């Protein structure tokens, strides 16, 4: 065999090997693509507000669900609102599966087509046979969400910060002459607008009718003006406790559950003013286009069972959204929940539908008011 013939055979063999490798790579990529299409997002991603609240959900919902289902669940934190979900949907990159929403955001997201419809028929009845539709508190079941717990925004203060009479009413929060010191408030018109009117003498059941009017809104901003130069704005659920702990503020608005660990577990000398508490419902919803729709629904069904809702109250003082769950909660724990009878005096339920329709408008007015002065605190959410 000549050198020329030998060289030709080698080149032919090399070409065949390269062709075979290319075909194998193509076949492998097609198989991988098919598998990726069938299961593009293996882990279930649940999104919530961080801190003590997410800890309570990990202990009451996520870890038990992992054990029961054999599925891995990861948790992420966000700042609330709908911007991140809009972005995921617009870019066709939906990576969140179950999200903890404030009710007004849930209703807005549903109306905008950002959320999946929920199969409410899958929710189990109470142990005594009461249908789920009758067992959940009013307003907890919606087209796109399932309520999980009732929480409240309250006023909290450091007892050691007041030598004489301690504050005891919502009006005291806006009275810096009698109770001096800086105030912490969430940078959001919700709650602040309602509180301002209630502190100025508007009855709880008349607040939203007043806020419908230009005069009512102006009145609310006038009341906020009384403390504006001493407001420290917060955005994350952990910040109010930090503000009290550091002595930065004398009083602050705070989600009531965030006070459970400092007061009960850590023994801090903090106190809650329940007068004028503004309570709301947090719900689970599923972003449109979740790659784990079936698993997401399985998680919601599990996490909103009476036993799991009652379990969460062991770690944070939020009220369960199912009435049957209350029978599983200890009496001492019940006293710390927003739903306790003594805590509901002069309470107001957040009108989620009202805010869903007007949040954009009033947020603009609120930001305009902020630009007139005051100072802020940067941060992230609950």
Tens of pLDDT, residues 39-88 = 444 699 999 999 889 999 999 999 999 999 999 999 999 989 999 999 99
Whether residue 274 is found in the same domain as residue 301:
no
Q: What is the DSSP letter of 289?
A: T
Tell me, rounded to whole angstroms, the distance of Cα 345 from its chain centroid.
25
Q: What is the DSSP letter of 322?
A: B
Whether residue 237 is found in the same domain as residue 354:
yes
Whether residue 52 is found in the same domain as residue 129:
yes
Whether 375 maps to a domain, the answer reads no
The list of the chain residues with pLDDT below 50 reads: 2-4, 6-7, 10, 13, 16-19, 21-41, 374-382
Could you give the CA distance from residue 320 to residue 282 in angstroms, rounded to a whole number? 10
Note the pLDDT of residue 341. 86
Whether 66 maps to a domain, the answer reads yes
Number of domains in the chain: 2
Could you give the CA distance from residue 112 to residue 279 in angstroms, rounded to a whole number? 25
Whether residue 325 is found in the same domain as residue 176:
no
User: How far is the first Cα of the chain from the last one, in angstroms, to the nearest whole number?
Assistant: 81
Residue 129's domain is classified under what CATH number? 3.40.190.10
Whether residue 241 is found in the same domain as residue 362:
yes
Note the pLDDT of residue 7. 47
Whether residue 85 is found in the same domain as residue 182:
no
For 86-116, give the secondary structure using H, E and C: HHHHHCCCCCCCEEEEEHHHHHHHHHCCCEC
Note the pLDDT of residue 377. 36
Q: Which two tokens stand for residue 81?
A: 């609102």
> What digits encode the pLDDT tens for the residues 279-303?
999 999 999 999 999 999 999 999 9
Whether 22 maps to a domain, the answer reads no
Is the CB of residue 221 less than 8 Å from the CB of residue 196? yes
Could you give the CA distance from residue 269 to residue 169 in angstroms, rounded to a whole number? 18
Whether residue 79 is found in the same domain as residue 109:
yes
**Residues 6+ away with beta carbon under 8 Å from 245:** 262, 268
- Give this prediction's pTM: 0.76
Q: Is 70 left (phi over 0), alpha (psi -120 to 50) or beta?
A: left
**Cα dist from 379 to 143, 208, 240, whole Å:** 32, 29, 11
Whether residue 355 is found in the same domain as residue 221:
yes
Taking residue 7's Cβ as centre, other Cβ atoms within 10 Å add up to 10
**Cα dist from 307 to 48, 101, 272, 310, 321, whole Å:** 20, 21, 28, 5, 12
Closest CA to 355 of 285, 286, 287, 278: 278
User: Domain of 316?
Assistant: 44-150+282-332
**Cα dist from 121 to 118, 136, 145, whole Å:** 9, 13, 12
Could you give the CA distance from residue 176 to residue 270 in angstroms, rounded to a whole number? 19
Tokens 């509901």, residue located: 344
Whether residue 269 is found in the same domain as residue 131:
no
Closest CA to 146 of 313, 311, 281, 307: 281
Whether residue 225 is found in the same domain as residue 364:
yes
Whether 33 maps to a domain, the answer reads no
Taking residue 216's Cβ as centre, other Cβ atoms within 10 Å add up to 18
Residue 113: is it exposed, middle or buried by C-beta count within 10 angstroms (0-12/13-18/19+)? exposed
Note the pLDDT of residue 24. 46
């Amino acid at each position: 065999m000549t050198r020329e013939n030998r060289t030709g055979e080698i080149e032919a063999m090399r070409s065949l090997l390269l062709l075979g490798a290319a075909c194998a790579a193509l076949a492998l990529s097609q198989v991988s693509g098919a598998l990726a299409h069938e299961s593009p997002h293996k882990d279930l991603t649940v999104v919530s507000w961080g801190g003590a609240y997410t800890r309570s959900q990990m202990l009451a919902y996520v870890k038990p669900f992992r054990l029961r289902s054999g599925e891995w669940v990861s948790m992420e934190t966000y700042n609330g609102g709908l911007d991140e979900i809009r972005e995921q949907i617009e870019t066709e990159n939906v990576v969140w599966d179950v999200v903890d929403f404030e009710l007004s955001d849930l209703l807005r997201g549903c109306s905008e087509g950002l959320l999946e419809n929920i199969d409410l028929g899958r929710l189990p009845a109470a142990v005594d046979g009461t249908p789920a539709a009758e067992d959940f508190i009013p307003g907890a079941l919606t087209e796109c969400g399932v309520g999980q717990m009732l929480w409240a925004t309250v006023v909290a203060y450091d007892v050691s910060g007041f030598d004489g009479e301690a504050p005891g009413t919502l009006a005291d929060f806006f009275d810096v002459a009698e109770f001096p010191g800086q105030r912490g408030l969430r940078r959001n018109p919700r709650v602040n607008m309602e509180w301002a009117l209630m502190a100025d003498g508007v009855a709880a059941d008349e607040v939203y009718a007043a806020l419908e009017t230009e005069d009512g809104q102006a009145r609310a901003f006038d009341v906020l003006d009384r403390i504006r130069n001493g407001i420290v704005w917060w955005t994350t659920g952990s910040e109010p406790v930090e503000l009290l702990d550091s002595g930065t503020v004398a009083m602050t608005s705070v989600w009531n559950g965030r006070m459970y660990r400092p007061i009960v577990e850590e023994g801090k000398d903090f106190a809650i003013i329940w007068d004028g508490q503004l309570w709301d419902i947090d719900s689970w919803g599923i972003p449109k286009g979740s790659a784990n729709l079936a698993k997401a629904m399985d998680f919601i069904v599990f996490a909103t069972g009476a036993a799991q809702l009652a379990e969460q109250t062991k770690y944070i003082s939020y009220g369960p959204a199912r009435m049957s769950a209350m029978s599983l909660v200890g009496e001492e724990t019940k006293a710390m929940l927003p739903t306790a009878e003594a805590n509901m005096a002069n309470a107001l339920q957040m009108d989620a539908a009202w805010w869903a329709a007007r949040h954009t408008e009033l947020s603009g007015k609120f930001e305009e008011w902020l630009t007139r002065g005051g100072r802020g605190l940067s941060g992230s959410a609950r």
